[in-house]
Amino acid sequence: MVLAIVLGALSGVAGVLPLFFGLRMTRRVTDTSNLGHAGALMLGVLLSFAVLFLAAIACVVLARESAVPFVLAEAAVLVASAIGYGVYTFVRK
């Protein structure tokens, strides 16, 4: 169970990375760019969900009894990372 929680936390961190890259892409987008601000963010959200769902499906297929701790750790790290990033950017500015 501890291994499932650790792997879920790592998967949650991997799921947050596309969101951060999407936010960075929005800062580089020009007004005449084909990929607008919303497009860059939506691409980050899509890739984030893909990473999270594929990891959860792999856990269910490989070790069904560890799926609940894996998914809960994945979601907790995803939410904690997003809140931490928001607080960090708020305090920094």
* pTM over cut 0.85: no
Which residues of the chain have a pLDDT value below 70?
Answer: 34-35
Question: What pLDDT was estimated at residue 72?
Answer: 96
Three-state secondary structure of the chain? CHHHHHHHHHHHHHHHHHHHHHHHHHHHCCCCCCCCHHHHHHHHHHHHHHHHHHHHHHHHHHCHHHHHHHHHHHHHHHHHHHHHHHHHHHHHC
In total, how many domains does the chain have?
Answer: 1
Percent of the chain whose predicted confidence (pLDDT) is above 90: 69
Domain holding 6, by residue range, is 2-92
